[in-house]
Amino acid sequence: MNQHILAMFGMPGGVETVVIVVIALLLFGRRLPDVARSIGKSIVEFKRGMREVKDDIDEAAKLDTDAPKKIDKKSDKPANHSAGE
């Protein structure tokens, strides 16, 4: 009995998907292309934001890995303070 209840709430099949699409077309009509367009713009903006965050993280990681190299180069050079005295 429990399997029948779970099967009733499973993913929709082919016929159910067609029925859902038809109902969506009836409800939204002309607005459906506008809704799809705004969803597409939102996805593009989200991806752009994620790319910017990734670039910022990569840049910060690059600066962190470059910083010790600069410090090591400065500390490897001997100081000639007593050469002129």
Residues 20-79 pLDDT 10s: 888 888 887 888 788 889 999 999 999 999 999 999 999 988 887 766 555 555 555 555
The whole-model pTM stands at 0.45
| 80 belongs to a structural domain | no
Tell me if 42 is assigned to some domain.
Answer: yes
Tell me, yes or no, whether 17 lies in a domain.
yes
Range of the domain at 9: 2-74
Torsion of CA 25, 28, 32, 36, to 10 degrees: -110
Rg (CA), the chain: 31
Tell whether 39 is covered by a domain. Answer: yes
Question: Residue 11 to residues 2, 6, 67: CA-CA distances in angstroms?
Answer: 16, 10, 53
Does 81 fall in a domain? no
Give the number of domains in the chain.
1
Give domain status of residue 82, yes or no. no
Q: Is residue 63 part of a domain?
A: yes
Q: What is the model's pLDDT at position 11?
A: 74
